[in-house]
């Protein structure tokens, strides 16, 4: 408690050197975080950068004597709101990266110009304002026995109506969110029999879908099962993953990994055997190995590309058919 009071007085009356150091370091980080929020390609990264900025802001709140707000900032913003953001990002697709290419002509320049002008004006305004004399929060924070008590006293007296109205607002928002996201079933859910009959009618995949590929070293749902000719079958992977393009293709990698393993064991066992003529090829294989895995990790893009090709092809086919007609 005593520590808190000293902190209070400190925060209220002066800006200590410690606070200055803290401001400059954390302030820089906060700006970088904000910039990253804007510039990161993936929404997840943006969200994380924003969370970092918010935490730094929480620290600043504390430094300014707003202890309650500092804690609330961490709990509500970083804890609740940013998690909500992350949920939605997951829902929408965590790996889906934005293309930062601007589509609206001149939008980026205009935005930069407006931002620059706005910022300059804002900062000029602040610089011109007469903000030289500070009262400090010491008296205010101690008047009711502490920051939280002070806020409570204000909140439940002077701002009680606003407080109640925000309560109503929150309830409305919760109901509104439910209304927006809840989908009323407008028709009866189809029974299993009807689904089966539909499948028969449409003549598509009558038996149950095949299971994903299971290998000795891989047991995951994102690895496609292989068809008899060795190519992976997308049918075996869950539709969600398929749509996100998160299928891992290990049809060739597994075999190559096996080969590489055998060769390494041979090497270790003392270079005996028949590896001579196969060596250069094997080396090449291992080289390609790395490439492949690299490709796999960022494979979503490629898969999307493939998808795009397919669509293009099908589109071309349709065009040709129409031409034939």
Partner 1 sequence: MENLIALLVAAPLLGAAVLLCGGRRLDRSGHWLGTVLAAASFVIGVVLFLDMLGRSADDRALHQHLFSWIPVEGFQADIAFQLDQLSMTFVLLITGVGTLIHVYSIAYMEHDERRRRFFGYLNLFLAAMLLLVIADNYLLLYFGWEGVGLASYLLIGFWQHKPSAATAAKKAFLVNRVGDIGLSIAIMLMFTTFGTFAFGPVLSSVGETGEGTLTAIGLMLLLAACGKSAQVPLQSWLGDAMEGPTPVSALIHAATMVTAGVYLIVRSGAIFNAAPNAQLAVVVVGAVTLLFGAIVGCAKDDIKKALAGSTMSQIGYMILAAGLGPIGYVFAIMHLVTHGFFKAGLFLGAGSVMHGMNDEVDMRKYGGLRTYMPVTFVTFGLGYLAIIGFPGLSGFFSKDKIIESAFAKGGAEGWILGGVALLGAAITAFYMTRVMLMTFFGEKRWQPDAEGQPPHPHESPKSMTIPMVILAFGSVFAGGFFSIGDRFLNWLEPVTGYDHGHAPISAATVTGATVVVLLIGVFLAWAMYGRRPVPVTAPRGSLLTRAARRDLLQDDFNHVVLVRGGEHLTRSLVYVDHTLVDGVVNGTAASVGGLSGRLRKLQNGYARSYAVSMFGGTAVLIAVTLLMRAV
Partner 2 sequence: MSPVNYLYLAALLFTIGAVGVLIRRNAIVVFMCIELMLNACNLALVAFSRMHGNLDGQIIAFFTMVVAAAEVVVGLAIIVSLFRSRHSASVDDASLMKL
- Stretch of 98-106, 195-203, 205-213, 307-315 contacting partner 2, by CB under 8 A: 98-106
Q: Are 69 and 76 in contact (CB under 8 A)?
A: no
**Smallest distance from the beta carbon of 103 to partner 1, in angstroms?**
9
Which of 52, 74, 141, 263 touches partner 2 by CB under 8 A? 141
**Smallest distance from the beta carbon of 304 to partner 2, in angstroms?**
13
- Stretch of 52-60, 188-196, 251-259, 309-317 contacting partner 2, by CB under 8 A: 52-60
Which of 169, 209, 214, 307 touches partner 2 by CB under 8 A? 169
Residue 128 binds: one of partner 1, partner 2, none (C-beta under 5 to 8 A by kind): partner 1
- Stretch of 119-127, 219-227, 290-298, 302-310 contacting partner 2, by CB under 8 A: 119-127
**Smallest distance from the beta carbon of 258 to partner 2, in angstroms?**
39
Which of 52, 74, 137, 247 touches partner 2 by CB under 8 A? 137
| Tokens coding 221 | 């749902």
Residue 149 binds: one of partner 2, partner 1, none (C-beta under 5 to 8 A by kind): none
| Tokens coding 56 | 């730094």
* DSSP conformation class of 80: I
| Tokens coding 200 | 């028969």
Strands 232-233 and 225-226: antiparallel
Q: Are 157 and 149 in contact (CB under 8 A)?
A: no
Residues 170-209 interacting with partner 2 (rule: CB under 8 A): 170, 172-174, 176-178, 180-181, 183
CA distance 47 to 85: 7
Cα angle: 304, vertex 305, 311; to 5 degrees: 90
Residue 78 binds: one of partner 2, partner 1, none (C-beta under 5 to 8 A by kind): none
| Tokens coding 55 | 């935490």
Nearer to partner 2, 72 or 221 (CB): 72
Which of 25, 145, 164, 166 touches partner 2 by CB under 8 A? 166
CA distance 48 to 82: 8
Consecutive H or E run containing 105: none
CA distance 252 to 215: 12
- Asked if residue 85 binds partner 2 (CB under 8 A), the reply is yes
CA distance 286 to 256: 8
Residues 306-325 interacting with partner 2 (rule: CB under 8 A): none
């Amino acid at each position: 408690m005593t520590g808190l009071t000293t902190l209070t007085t400190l925060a209220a009356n002066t800006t200590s050197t410690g606070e200055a150091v803290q401001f400059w370091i954390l302030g820089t980080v906060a700006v970088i975080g904000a910039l990253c929020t804007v510039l990161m390609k993936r929404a997840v990264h943006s969200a994380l950068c924003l969370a970092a900025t918010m935490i730094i802001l929480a620290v600043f709140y504390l430094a300014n004597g707003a202890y309650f707000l500092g804690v609330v900032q961490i709990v509500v913003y970083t804890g609740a709101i940013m998690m909500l953001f992350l949920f939605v990002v997951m829902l929408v697709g965590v790996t889906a990266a934005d293309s930062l290419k601007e589509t609206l002509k001149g939008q980026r320049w205009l935005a930069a110009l407006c931002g620059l002008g706005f910022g300059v004006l804002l900062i000029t305004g602040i610089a011109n304002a007469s903000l030289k004399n500070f009262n400090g929060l010491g008296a205010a924070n101690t008047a009711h026995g502490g920051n939280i008590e002070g806020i409570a006293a204000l909140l439940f007296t002077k701002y009680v109506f606003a407080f109640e109205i925000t309560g109503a607002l929150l309830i409305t928002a919760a109901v509104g969110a439910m209304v927006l996201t809840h989908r009323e079933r407008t028709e009866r859910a189809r029974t299993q029999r009807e689904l089966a009959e539909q499948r028969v009618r449409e003549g598509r995949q009558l038996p149950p879908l095949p299971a994903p590929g299971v290998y000795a070293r891989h047991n995951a749902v994102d690895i496609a099962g292989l068809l008899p000719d060795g190519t992976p079958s997308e049918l075996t992977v869950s539709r969600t993953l398929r749509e996100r393009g998160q299928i891992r293709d290990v049809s060739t990698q597994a075999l190559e990994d096996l080969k590489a393993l055998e060769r390494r064991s041979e090497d270790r066992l003392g270079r005996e055997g028949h590896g001579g003529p196969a060596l250069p090829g094997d080396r090449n294989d291992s080289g390609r190995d790395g490439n492949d895995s690299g490709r796999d990790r960022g494979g979503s893009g490629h898969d999307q590309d493939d998808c795009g090709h397919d669509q293009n092809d099908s589109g071309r086919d349709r065009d040709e058919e129409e031409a034939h007609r």
